[in-house]
Structure formats: C-alpha cells, structure tokens
Amino acid sequence: MVLKYVGCRGRLQGEDSNFILANAQVAKGFPIVYCSDGFCELAGFARTEVMQKSCSCKFLFGVETNEQLMLQIDKSLEEKTEFKGEIMFYKKNDKAKGRSRAGTHFDSARRRSRAVLYHISGHLQRREKNKLKINNNVFVDKPAFPEYKVSDAKRSKFILLHFSTFKAGWDWLILLATFYVAVTVPYNVCFIGNDDLSTTRSTTVSDIAVEILFITDIILNFRTTYVSKSGQVIFEARSICIHYVTTWFIIDLIAALPFDLLYAFNVTVVSLVHLLKTVRLLRLLRLLQKLDRYSQHSTIVLTLLMSMFALLAHWMACIWYVIGKMEREDNSLLKWEVGWLHELGKRLESPYYGNNSLGGPSIRSAYIAALYFTLSSLTSVGFGNVSANTDAEKIFSICTMLIGALMHALVFGNVTAIIQRMYSRWSLYHTRTKDLKDFIRVHHLPQQLKQRMLEYFQTTWSVNNGIDSNELLKDFPDELRSDITMHLNKEILQLSLFECASRGCLRSLSLHIKTSFCAPGEYLLRQGDALQAIYFVCSGSMEVLKDSMVLAILGKGDLIGANLSIKDQVIKTNADVKALTYCDLQCIILKGLFEVLDLYPEYAHKFVDDIQHDLTYNLREGHESDQKALVFTKTALIWRSLELQSLSPWHCMAAELFAMPFRFPVADSFRVSLSLALCMLKF
C-alpha cells in the first residue's frame, strides 16, 4: 500500500516525493512501515514517530477535519478500494492546516516502472536536518597533536612555499635540465672535442637556456621556504638566505656559471669549454634529495633508479671511446691495429689509414658500440663481439665489471624490492583467497555457503583493501587513537543522541565503535539472538523481518537496537534484520557502551531516556509498538518487481507515486489534498 501526498498546485519542483508505505495484510490499523523524508518534512513528524502508526493518518486529524471523510477513509481501507478526496490535515505543533490533492496515473507509471529502484534508493539514502542533528561543538576542540597551518603564518607574498604546486613543477623542470647536462656534457667532451665546431655551436642555444634555468633557480631558492631541524616551516627571508648560502648555494653557483660566454671571446679550444662544463654534474647531488622526497612513490623511485643506471652506462661509454681513441693515437707509429676502434672499423668496412688519423667508423657507430659494450658489461651479459684488446682497455673492462656488480646489486636490488612492494597487496589478496578456498575444500562446505564466503571476502576487500584498521591502530597511544577513531566515526557521533555527551565521553565511546559490512541477502541479526551492539546504517538498505513478514524498511541514517537499561544483562532480539543491498554499518558494542556509561553517570541517564526515541526500530524482545505490525511479505517489496518481466498495476502505480516531486509550502499554514491510492495486494 502506498499513500502519496502532493501539493495543491500540482507537480511542483522539488526533490523529495512525499509518501508512506503501509502494511496491506494486517486488517487492523494498516501500520506504516516506511515514510519518506519529504513526508516527515511536510507533516513535521520525525520518522521514528510515524513508524508503526495507522496509515489512516489519524495523528494528523484536527478540529476542522471532516468526520464524514474520516469514515470514508476507514471504509476504503477496510474494503481495500481506491478513494480520492480532499481532507484537512494538521501539521505537528502547528495550528495551521493544509489541503492538497493527487491521484494515480497508471499509464505514466507503466512508462516509468523500471525507475522504482532508483527512487527508493534515493529516498532511503537522503536525510534532512531533522533526521540527523549535527552537534557542531563535538569536533571544535583543537587536536592534541600539532598541525601546520601555513595560511595562518604571516609571510611575504614574494616568499615561495617549498611544497607548492609551482615549486614541485619547477623542481622537476630543473631535474630534467640536470639530466640534459649529465648527458650532453660528457658526450661533447669525449666525442666532439675540437673536431666538429658546427655540432658544438648547434647546442649553444639549448646550453644557454639551461644556464638561464639554473640562474633562475638560484634566485628562487633565496625566496623559498624550508623545514628546520625542529620541524617548523621557516618563512623569514633572512633565515632562508642564510640557510641556502650554507647548504647548496656554492654547488648551484658553480653549476650555473655561463661558460658559453667564452665563445664571445673567440675561444677556439672547444674541449676546454666542455671540460669546464663538467662541474655542472655537481647538481646531480640534488637527485639524492629527490630520491628521499619521493621514496614512498614506487613508480617515481623506479624511474629515477633506472635513469641513474642508464646515465652511468652513458658515462662509461664516453670513457670507453676516449680510451680507444687514445690507444689509436698512441700506437699510430707502431702500426698496431688491435684496439676496439680498429676492430670496429674493420667489421664496418671503414678501417683507419694514414697513420690511424683518417677513416674509421662514424661517431654515431662508435657511440652505439661503446654504449652496447658498457651496458653488456654492467649487466654481466656480454657476448664478446666488442671486447677489450689492449692493456688499458682490459683495465677499464675490469673496473666496469666491478662497478657493474655493485650497481647490479644496488639498483636492481631496489627495483626488486619496489616491484614486490607494488604488488604486495595483490599477492596478499591471492594468498588470502587461496587460504579461503583451501579451508572450504578441507571442511567440505556446501556450495551455497562457499559462495557467500567468497562474495563477502571479495566485497570487504574492495572496501578496505585488506587493511585491518584495528590491527593498524593498536600500537598507537590511546590519546591519538581516540582522536583518529572520533574522526572515522564522526557520522554516528553527530547524532542528536550524543548531543549532550562531553568530549571525553565521546572519545571513550569512539574506541568501542566498530565497522561492519553486510552483503545483499545476509542477515545482520536473527530473531532470538543476543543483541551485542547498536547499529547505525551508513549506506545501503535493510529490512526487518518476522515470520517472513517485513516489519520495517531501513536506510542510511537509521539506528537499530533496543532501549537500554543499566541493569540489562542480555537483550534478545524480536525480529530478523536482513540486508537488501550492500550495507556499511557502524556498531557500538554494548559491553563497551556500558563501561563508558559507568564512567560518565551524568550522561548515562540522559542516554537511556533518549535512545528509545531515536531508534528507528526497537529490537527488544517483548517490545510493544503503537501498532503491532506485520508488513507485506518481501515478495511485495517494490524493488523486487524489477526482476520480473511483466509488471503488475501495483508496481506501475508505485513507480508514478515515487516519481512525483513536491514543493514545500511557503506560508505558515498549508492545505494538502490527500489522495489515498490504496492498492491492496493479495499474495
């Protein structure tokens, strides 16, 4: 049974549909099992006050309510027929009255029947301020541990924050420029020299651009904040200058010297300029800072380590070429042709001639061969097609192998650790899954139970990624742990139930709040179970069942439990609680709750008095509601009709009723026209 309330001006703008769901099987009273937030806002009643009352809405009747219409409503309910009419209703604690009218639209409902689930889930998850009263004073106190708030610190607008987005991007730009210097400077010194002035002059523009970047970086470093040894962020310009001058200034200054200006003085010794530029390699020391800063980012560290390895191979290739070149020049008079450059020239059919000063392989071929040799030596996978022949070449090869062994252990050892760390969660997931399947196989669990276990494990893993928050926080001190748990559980602690609790009480209580999860079809509680906790629905939808009959439909923001007494030892539940969708729950453990109430007796009595009014459904065994309700069976729930290919008129009408919006009245008084679309289902 659905009752829909629509404003007298027709379908106006608004987000909430104003309706109630009532039991169509209990002939006496037809108790309400669900009411929308829009209805609560319209009538002025809290949802807990409306639940289990008669769907005739006699609690809205007043002095001017037509008695004849009252009788017609009762008659329509008794005979299970549809009734339309205008009736005067009264808002709670308000003398104003209103009137509205509405009807059912079966044709339109059939077109939108598949939107039922969407509208229901939306209403179950939305909550207005009258449902959750946020206590803004709960989290006002300053945290116990210090917190950096840069916005509160007085600083010049010309001071650059070291953790700002601009500074991070600038640092990466400087890092790329440093890599450019580390690649080009050794190459120009070893391969170019004085041989090719055109190539040297072609890179002059890029070299000047890098010098400008380095000089600009020095200027910015004089205006960039830093973190002192005590952990404070320093904004004072004088302190920043002193700190920079005593740390990285000398290295940065040497690396930024404009050596390319020597070309303006017609310097023809190009190799001298290249050799002077090698001091820029000192900026690679900054790379160590980057590794430390981004040590927790596995992908970045992996990229930097591989770049360092490739850079080392590049340097070794440059040195290998210089050794071959020197061997060729020294042995030009002896007619020795045993160096690696001679062998390469012969294989490429471009041998040296004219006292080894002419001919030979191109610079491109020589560099590729040198890089191939150093990489194969560093990785210990050399094939011998480029080999050391002279004494100098053999000595260098020995050094390369030793360095390769060290770099192989350092770089690839870190790479292995990083890759293992990147896939640790994936490995843990598959290990847990295998253990679970082995457990199921050893104990011969039935297929249905096996499926439930696997689905629950996979869903919970996707929610928490395998992180056990209790295990993670157990080593923290109680002070810090209570602050963390207050933040994690602030949604339930902001309920009006805890409005009068002190901060100390909330901190103690937060340590006894646990997180739970229910998959669709799983039972949170069974009838007759001992109630162990009070449950707060964070998301999802649940139903309360008794003898396969629905007593209530619960959604986000609902509180499930029982009215408490300090003397309670065991509380038995009077119904089942079953999840309809994936549900996230926060539960207050009763044992811990009683311990906290013993510590704060001034709040205990207030809590015991208030909880019975804040519970959406009371699960205490023997609890008597205003109307004893057994609601339509779960097959009559509206969203279950989505699984059917053919939709009944009841479902079509429900879709239309859920889809109709409502605008709240502006004046103190309002008139509502009640259209009771009573569609009785017989199962």
Place of tokens 């879709």: 655
Q: Is residue 566 part of a domain?
A: yes
For residues 644 and 619, membership in a common domain is answered with no
**pLDDT tens figures, 370-411:** 999 999 888 877 676 788 888 888 999 999 999 988 888 887
Of 53, 63, 64, 8, the closest CA to residue 31 belongs to 53
pLDDT of residue 13: 38
Q: How far is CA 108 from CA 23, 111, 145, 649, 680, in A?
A: 25, 5, 59, 11, 20
Alpha helices, H only, 222-362: 237-245, 249-255, 270-277, 286-293, 298-330, 340-347
CATH number at residue 344: 1.10.287.70
For residues 170 and 254, membership in a common domain is answered with yes
pLDDT of residue 682: 33
What DSSP string describes 488-556? Answer: HTHHHHTSGGGTT--HHHHHHHHTTEEEEEE-TT-EEE-TTPBP-EEEEEEES-EEEEETTEEEEEE-T
For residues 520 and 607, membership in a common domain is answered with yes
For residues 73 and 204, membership in a common domain is answered with no
Q: How far is CA 358 from CA 351, 353, 367, in A?
A: 9, 5, 18
* Exposed/middle/buried for residue 435 (C-beta within 10 Å: 0-12, 13-18, 19+): exposed
Alpha helices, H only, 331-465: 340-347, 363-378, 391-407, 413-422, 424-443, 447-464
CA distance 5 to 267: 93
Of 577, 572, 545, 581, the closest CA to residue 559 belongs to 577
For residues 64 and 99, membership in a common domain is answered with yes
For residues 99 and 11, membership in a common domain is answered with yes
Helix (H) and strand (E) counts in the chain: 26, 21
Q: Is residue 149 part of a domain?
A: no
- Positions of the chain with pLDDT under 70: 1-17, 25-29, 93-155, 193-202, 262-274, 287-296, 331-336, 354-357, 382, 384, 566-569, 622-683
SS3 state of residue 659 = helix
pLDDT of residue 336: 61
Q: Is residue 470 part of a domain?
A: no
CATH number at residue 619: 2.60.120.10
Show Cβ contacts of residue 129 under 8 Å, excluding neighbours closer than 6 positions.
none
Cβ–Cβ under 8 Å, residues 100 and 660: no
pLDDT of residue 358: 72
Q: Is residue 520 part of a domain?
A: yes
Cβ–Cβ under 8 Å, residues 457 and 432: yes
Domain end (from 287, 310, 338) = 287
Enclosing domain of residue 529: 479-631
CA distance 89 to 7: 13
- Through-space distance between the first and last CA atoms of the chain, rounded to whole angstroms: 13
Q: Is residue 442 part of a domain?
A: no
CA distance 172 to 167: 9
pTM of the full structure: 0.50
For residues 512 and 527, membership in a common domain is answered with yes
For residues 394 and 304, membership in a common domain is answered with yes
Domain end (from 287, 320, 349) = 287
Beta strand pairing call for 352-353 and 542-546: unpaired
Show Cβ contacts of residue 672 under 8 Å, excluding neighbours closer than 6 positions.
5, 7, 8, 42, 89, 98, 99, 100
Domain end (from 612, 631, 650) = 631
| Total number of domains in the chain | 4
Q: Is residue 435 part of a domain?
A: no
pLDDT of residue 94: 54
Beta strand pairing call for 617-618 and 559-561: parallel
Q: Is residue 576 part of a domain?
A: yes
For 674, phi and psi rounded to 5 degrees?
A: -95, 120
pLDDT of residue 154: 60
Question: With the C-alpha atoms ordered 413, 417, 422, 425, is the resulting torsion angle positive or negative?
Answer: positive
For residues 616 and 670, membership in a common domain is answered with no
For residues 308 and 245, membership in a common domain is answered with no
Q: Is residue 444 part of a domain?
A: no
CA distance 528 to 521: 19
Cβ–Cβ under 8 Å, residues 522 and 542: no
Q: How far is CA 601 from CA 185, 260, 478, 593, 598, in A?
A: 77, 81, 22, 12, 6
For residues 31 and 120, membership in a common domain is answered with yes
Q: Which residues of 618-638 are buried (b: 16+ CB within 10 A; e: fewer)?
A: bbbeeeeeebebbbbbeebbb
For residues 622 and 649, membership in a common domain is answered with no
